[in-house]
Chains A and B, each alone.
Chain A
Amino acid sequence: MTEPVVEAIEVVKFLGDGASKVQALKGVSLSLASGELVLLMGPSGSGKTTLLSVLGCMLSPTEGSVRVCGHSTAGLPPDQLTKLRRDHIGFVFQSYHLFPTLTAVDNVRLALDVRGERSHRAITKAIDALAIVGLSHKINAYPLQLSSGEQQRVAIARAIVGNASAILADEPTAALDSENGHSVMSVLAEIARHPGRGVLVVTHDPRILPFANRIVRIEDGRIVGKERSAAAGPTEQARSLAVP
């Protein structure tokens, strides 16, 4: 593990206005190093998703700072934050959010298209990304023709196709059964082993604990515990559960 790919330093975040104003994050510090898979766990309303949004440059911290691959996000205008996201961060969402009207390869290619990569090479990259997640045989399938686990793997391929340094995953296994959940986590764990890339997974799911290098617990907007996995990496148990 080397320097952090994303880092939150004493981040405070208020959400809402007036009477509905709440402090979602109360001085959170968290770093994600390349080569590690970190699980962010906590009860509902603890600030997990807000922290993920702040780390993903979708929300600006009220106080504190965020650094993405060494770049501070402080004072950056929205288009610069978008560029930072585009260049360095990949997202995986609980509901996949794939366009049902596009094939798997086109859904992955979208991540390149929004960067202006629109040549044959973009298609090759998208197919390679799908191969990494084990879907090279389903490149022309539409999301509705894929299982939930496969759809999530397409979403992962979309997150990694642009060579993002940080993959931020929000409850990636919440909508999946045990087998698909392990399959998705094993893909994420494999991706995390890539040098220069870290994976942060927000989850409630205790089944995926064996995949983590580190587990960070958050409650009421504060980090309340940081545990390093016993094996300092995805356990043999996790690897044995992984579906290739």
Chain B
Amino acid sequence: MKWREFIALSAARLLRGCLLRMRKLSARARSWTPSFLGADRYSRLAAELCSPLLASQLVTPLIFKLAARNLFHDRLRFIATIIGIVFSMVLVTVQMGLFLSFERMVTTMIDHTPADLWIMPFGTKCFEDPSLLDERERFRAMSIKGVTDAVPILISFAQWRVPTGGTTPVLVIGSDMDKAGLRPWNIVEGDLDALSIPDAVAIDQSYFDRLGSKGLGDTVEIGDRRAQVRVVTKGIRSFTTTPYVFTPLDRARAYTGTPPNKATYLLVRLAAGADVESARTRLNETLAKAEALTPAEFRSRSRSFWLFGTGAGAALFAGALLGMIVGIVIVAQTLYSSTKEYLNEFATLRAIGSSSIYIYAVIIIQALLSAIIGFGIAAGIGVFIVEVTAESALPVFMTPTLTVSLFLLTIAMCVISAMSAIVQVMRMDPAMAFTR
């Protein structure tokens, strides 16, 4: 059939074009030797490293074969290397995944709140900070040109009485449902209008066990007052493990014992076309005991407090760093011992006219092979961990950027590890081939 011939011919032409292009690139890579800043050595190393990848000859590149065979020759050592890389990268992946997850979770509420500016008491460190604003600040805010509304919301702790006995703390979020405040999302049972029913509250299904709740329709007590679960959400979790309870503002004040003229935040809405920065400046000049922040600033402040103010982020980074150090040490040890094993042969290569670059390339290819295989396995385990923790209180989060970054990190880790072997080769005298 004609279309089949056409496809076969096109594929053959494409393949031929690619091969020719690769051949040209290979030749260019080998011949490109800029002399500035001593770049000659680096360009030659790059050319040696690229030649196996770019060469279009059908002969297996010998440098690649030599590196691979030297690497795989001692299987036990190779397996130990890969385990080292996998262990290291899984640790780094989990730590960085937790960091990302943590970073997102601490700003979840800010992300879901429609506000041009946030007004909060001076010194508020994060969303969960229960300091209170006086309602007079709202009137001050409303007096600023361009401000169309300043919606009060309340964030405060209260005690939830567990049916089986005792109480558990909850974070009550009070916001008027008829205004653009902070409303629950991802609703799986009930609807937002149901929160207008007296005593209605919204909770997340992941906290049923913790709260001793049977779900929709359950009648409970918050702060010695009656409450009824009318809305159930999915996936609105707190990284502090304290459950969120959504309810209208007045009811939240009642549950938490907050005076009626107090609120935690004012969500500022600006008129269309109003300049956010100038409005913020005017608000900060006008407000007495409060400050105005853009959502981005408030996110940054919350992250900064939880990730670095509490040491949680530092602990995650320290874990990741530890993982990297373990990986570097294990890979370095393996490459060093592998190079040492073949030192006489490498000396012979130098004696027969090999450049140092050629031998460095052999070692670096070994490092890259280790990195690719190790990362492949670590990535598989990482995906499994992401799946398993997806429904947990603190899921491990992965993004394409993090995946690519971890791959580059693995490559960097293995290349850094190759340095000990390269230094060994640098000190090698080709004349030692005679003496051993």
Candidate in B65, B70, B345, B351 with the most chain A CB atoms within 10 angstroms:
B351
Query: With contacts A93-B434, A97-B345, A118-B61 known, is A83 near B66, CB below 8 A?
Result: no
Chain A residue with minimal CB distance to B358?
A: A114
User: Beyond A99-B342, A114-B352, is A58–B431 a contact (Cβ under 8 Å)?
Assistant: yes
Q: How far is the CB of A50 from chain B (nearest CB, A)?
A: 9
Stretch at the interface among B51-59, B108-116, B119-127, B383-391: B51-59
Q: Report A194 CB to chain B, min CB distance, Å.
A: 18
Stretch among A100-108, A146-154, A235-243 lining the B interface: A100-108
**Residue A79 interfacial (CB < 8 Å):** yes
Say yes or no for B369: interface residue by CB 8 A criterion: no
* A162 partner residues in chain B, CB cutoff 8 A: 352-353
Among B19-63, those with CB < 8 Å from A are 30, 51, 55, 57-59, 61-63
Are A85 and B353 closer than 8 Å at their CB atoms? Answer: yes
Chain A neighbourhood of B58, CB < 8 A: 120
The answer to whether A85 touches B66 (Cβ under 8 A) is: no
* Chain B nearest Cβ from A79, distance in angstroms: 7
Chain A 32-48 interface 0/1 with B at a Cβ cutoff of 8 Å (1 = within) = 00000000000000000
For chain B, give the interface size range: 20 to 34
Q: Please, which residues of chain A bring their CB within 8 A of the CB of B59? A: 118-120, 122-123
B22 CB, nearest partner CB in chain A, Å = 14
Chain A residues in 8 Å Cβ range of B433: 91, 93, 97
Task: Verify A85–B73 contact, CB threshold 8 A.
Answer: no
CB neighbours of B348 from chain A (8 A): 91, 93, 97
Which residue of chain B has its CB nearest to the CB of A58? B431
Query: For the complex, is B430 an interface residue (Cβ under 8 Å from A)?
Result: yes
Q: With an 8 A cutoff between CB atoms, is A87 at the interface?
A: yes
Kindly supply a per-residue 1/0 record for chain B positions 219-241, scoring 1 wherever the CB is within 8 Å of any chain A CB and 0 otherwise: 00000000000000000000000
Tell whether, in the assembled complex, residue A52 and residue B434 are in contact, meaning their CB atoms are under 8 Å apart: yes
Tally of chain A residues near chain B (CB < 8 A):
41
Which label, helix, strand, loop or mixed, suits the secondary structure of the B interface? helix
Which A residues touch B436, using CB under 8 A? 95
Contact B351 A110 (CB under 8 A): no
Q: Pick from B55, B351, B353: contact of A118, CB below 8 A.
A: B55
Are the C-beta atoms of A53 and B434 separated by less than 8 Å?
A: yes
B214 interface contact, C-beta 8 A: no
Residues B333-377 near A (CB distance < 8 A): 342, 344-345, 347-355, 358
Instruction: Tell yes or no: A61 within 8 A of B by CB.
Output: no
In this complex, the member of A106, A113, A115 whose beta carbon has the largest number of chain B beta carbons within 10 angstroms is A113
Q: In this assembly, does A200 line the interface, its C-beta being within 8 Å of a C-beta of chain B?
A: no
- A242 to B355 alpha-carbon distance, docked (Å): 36
Q: B66–A86 contact, CB under 8 A?
A: no
Q: Is B69 interfacial (CB 8 A cutoff)? A: yes
Closest to B62 in A: A113
Identify B344's interface contact among A56, A97, A102, A110, CB under 8 A.
Answer: A97
How far apart are A40's CB and chain B's nearest CB, in angstroms? 13
Please, which residues of chain A bring their CB within 8 A of the CB of B345?
97-99
Given A56-B351, A79-B355, answer yes or no on A109-B30 (Cβ-Cβ < 8 Å).
Answer: no
User: Provided the pairs A98-B345, A99-B342, A101-B66 are in contact, do residues A59 and B353 lie with their beta carbons within 8 angstroms?
Assistant: no
B429–A102 CB distance below 8 A: no
- Is A58's CB under 8 angstroms from B430's CB? yes
A116 at the interface (CB under 8 A from B): yes
- Cβ-defined contact, A85 with B351, below 8 A: yes
Q: Mark B65-95, 1 if CB is under 8 A from A, else 0.
A: 1100110010000000000000000000000
Report the Cα distance A87→B344, complex, angstroms: 21
CA distance A165 to B133 in the complex (A): 92
Q: Which of A101, A113, A122 contacts B63 (CB 8 A)?
A: A113
A102 touches B69 (CB 8 A): yes
Q: How far is the CA of A243 from the CA of B81 in the complex (A)?
A: 46
B310 contact set on A, CB distance < 8 A: none
Q: Which residues of A contact B69 (CB under 8 A)?
A: 99, 101-102
- Cβ-defined contact, A102 with B66, below 8 A: yes
A49 touches B349 (CB 8 A): no
A72 to B400 alpha-carbon distance, docked (Å)? 58
In the complex, chain B residues 384-436 whose Cβ is within 8 Å of any chain A Cβ = 429-431, 433-436
- Report the separation of the CA atoms of residues A52 and B430 in the bound assembly, to the nearest whole angstrom: 12
Chain B residues with Cβ below 8 Å from A120 are 57-59
Which A residues from 48 to 107 make CB contacts under 8 A with B? 49, 52-53, 56, 58-59, 79, 82-83, 85-87, 89-91, 93-95, 97-102, 106
Of B62, B73, B353, the residue contacting A106 (CB under 8 A) is B62
Check: A158 CB closer than 8 A to any chain B CB. Answer: yes
Query: Bound complex: CA of A100 vs CA of B345, how far in Å?
Result: 9
A-side contacts of B57, CB under 8 Å: 118-120
Nearest opposing residue in chain A for B351, CB measure: A91
By the criterion CB–CB under 8 Å, are B434 and A170 in contact?
yes
Residues in A lying within 8 Å of B, measured CB to CB: 49, 52-53, 56, 58-59, 79, 82-83, 85-87, 89-91, 93-95, 97-102, 106, 109-111, 113-116, 118-120, 122-123, 158-159, 162, 170
Could you show 16 A-B contacts with beta carbons less than 8 Å apart?
A53-B431, A53-B434, A79-B355, A89-B353, A91-B433, A95-B436, A97-B344, A97-B345, A99-B342, A114-B355, A118-B57, A118-B61, A119-B57, A123-B59, A158-B352, A162-B353
| Known contacts A85-B353, A110-B349; 6 further A-B pairs (Cβ under 8 A) | A91-B348, A91-B351, A95-B344, A99-B66, A114-B353, A123-B59
10 A-B pairs with least C-beta separation:
A86-B353, A101-B69, A114-B354, A97-B348, A58-B431, A113-B62, A53-B431, A85-B353, A101-B73, A58-B430
